[in-house]
Structure 1
Amino acid sequence: MFEHTVRLLLEGVFICEITHHEAFAFLNHPANQQAVNDYLGKIGLRLASTAHGGAFFAAHIETGGPEKKAAKEVFTKIKHELRPLVAFLEFVMRASQKDDVICAGSVIETASLMLSIDSNPTLRSDLQSLANLVKGPAADSSDRARFNKVLNRFKDEGYLFLANSEREIYQVTGKIEFIMEAIAFLSEHEKIALEDEEAEVTSQGSLL
């Protein structure tokens, strides 16, 4: 299990209970965590986990805090890349008519959501916009094809796991925790960077 788990981590996989149950259980033992971390440390990596412990992943060993300018650039890049994901999560919440925040383990039932979409012109329009936003081969004009395109995209990206192929039931994976934490972290750094810029402008203005 050690070799299998390390291989997954080196491939950039986010190991969670939903997608890799055995590897996740293996990493939940402190001794195994230490062994894996020691191995990764030899190649400049470390074993990391999300704040809520929903997923493990390999990260580069930190050598210092990121510069504020670099953090702002990274935030802008991630914000652009995550736009489809955020739009998808918001769409699912509206279609399911639930106020609960989507998190690791949340269930997405395709058939149930399609019933809501078919009966709501606004959702159908939003789905078309979402499908256009998501990268991938163009889907045909049916709402079902558009929704399948979106689901397959986020499954391929590791955010969804097909728990029941016959009933087309998906589960949100632990990778979602990492993304939410990254957004919160980078948002805070973006705020700090903007505050510093405003202070600098104010200071320059007082000198002129």
Structure 2
Amino acid sequence: MFERVILLLLQGEFICAVSHPDEYRFLEDERDRDEVVRYLGRLNRRLTQTPHQSGYYLAFSHLGDAERESVKGHFQDLKGSLGPVVLFFQLVMRTTSQEDLLMPGALLETSSIMSKIDQDAGLRNELQNVALISRATATDGAYRTMFDKLLGKLKTDGYLTLANAERGLYQVTSKMEYLLDVVRFLQENDPALSKPQVSEEEELAGTRPLL
């Protein structure tokens, strides 16, 4: 288990009770966690927890020039993906009227969500906008296809995990908690985010007739 935990962390995975339950239990054991911490220290890495301690991930122990460039690139990548992720969860929260959907472990009942979207022209339009911005449009124009593509992207990116394939249940992982913390940090420290920025795709999504 030690080797698997190290490998997942070095691959940039977030380890929590939702995404990797066995590995998370391993890290919750103080002796096992200390062994991981000692090993990572030799690699200039430290084991870090999300703000509410729902998950573990890696960070650099010390920042030299190379590490600073790596962190800078990481934040640039995150900034580029923030919009689609936030817009998707805003859509889901409006659809379900649940404000706790951003919490790790929260369940997304996709059949119920899609059923409500199908019955509301405004939600369908919003879904199409999110799909356009996320480059998850469907060649057949089907809303369900767009929705499934968005879920797949979020699963691939580590924000969701498939809890029950037969029932179409997804769970939010601790990476979402990390992302929200990054959003707060960027809003406080990045002047470019003090005002809403509209990308070309967002501009198109807001102006093109979609229904």
Question: How would you bin the TM-score normalised by the shorter chain?
Answer: 0.7 to 0.9
RMSD (Å), alpha carbons: 2.4
Match of 2:159 in 1: 159
Please identify the structure whose Cα radius of gyration is greater.
Answer: 1
Match of 1:53 in 2: 53
SS at the partner of 1:161? strand
1 or 2 for the larger relative contact order (CA 8 Å, sep ≥6)?
1
The unaligned stretches of length 5 or more in structure 2 are: 65-70, 195-211
1:125 Cα deviation from its structure 2 partner: 0.4
Match of 2:131 in 1: 131
* Aligned-partner Cα distance in 1 for 2:28–2:125: 43
Match of 1:186 in 2: 186
Match of 1:106 in 2: 106
SS at the partner of 2:38? helix
* Aligned-partner Cα distance in 2 for 1:88–1:168: 17
* Aligned-partner Cα distance in 2 for 1:33–1:97: 38
1:75 Cα deviation from its structure 2 partner: 6.3
1:102 Cα deviation from its structure 2 partner: 2.0
8 A Cα contact 1:5 1:23, kept in partner: yes
1:10 Cα deviation from its structure 2 partner: 1.0
Q: How does 1:55-70 map to 2 (within 5 A)?
A: 55-63=55-63
Q: 1:142–1:20: structure 2 CA closer, same or farther, 3 Å change rule?
A: same
Q: How many matched pairs?
A: 187
Match of 2:26 in 1: 26
8 A Cα contact 2:49 2:57, kept in partner: yes
8 A Cα contact 1:103 1:172, kept in partner: yes
SS at the partner of 1:23? helix
What's the CA shift string for 1:111-143, capped at 9, x where partnerless? Answer: 100111011000000011111111457452111
Match of 1:203 in 2: none
* Aligned-partner Cα distance in 2 for 1:3–1:76: 30
Normalising by structure 1, report the TM-score. Answer: 0.82
1:167 Cα deviation from its structure 2 partner: 0.8
